[in-house]
């Protein structure tokens, strides 16, 4: 599972999906959520609306490596991953 946060309105979902599939992953589930920060920006400036996209992916690659590559996309604010294939000791 991956969660990617970015500002709305810049075509980022297309970029996220393109990089994910180009990295050899398939997308099993996808969910988007609008995030309202609820706080004004610096000096009362308008804060960009944010989006979080949740992706359940499968593939032979490394999910943490995919998360690192996604975090390098312009405008991406945060990426977190939760690999279900890891074991706790």
pLDDT tens digit sequence for 18-32 = 999 999 999 999 999
What are the domain boundaries of the chain? 2-36+50-81
Q: Which residue has the tokens 């398939």?
A: 26
Domain 2-36+50-81 is found in CATH 3.30.70.260: yes
The pLDDT of residue 35 is 85
- Model confidence, pTM: 0.80
Residue 49: the pLDDT is 87
Helices and strands: H and E segment counts in the chain: 2, 4
Q: Which stretch of DSSP H or E encloses residue 21?
A: helix 12-22
pLDDT band (50, 70, 90) for residue 39: low
The Cα 38–Cα 30 span in angstroms is 25
Contact 5, 49 (CB under 8 A): no
HSE-CB of 9 using CA atoms within 13 angstroms: 5
């Amino acid at each position: 599972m991956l969660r990617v946060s970015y500002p709305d309105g810049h075509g980022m979902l297309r970029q996220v999906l393109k990089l994910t599939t180009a990295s050899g992953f398939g997308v099993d589930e996808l969910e988007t959520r609008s995030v309202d920060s609820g706080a004004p920006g610096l000096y009362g400036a308008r804060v960009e609306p944010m989006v979080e996209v949740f992706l359940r992916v499968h593939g032979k690659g490394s999910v943490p490596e995919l998360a690192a590559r996604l975090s390098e996309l312009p405008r991406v604010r945060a990426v977190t991953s939760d690999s279900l294939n890891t074991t706790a000791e």
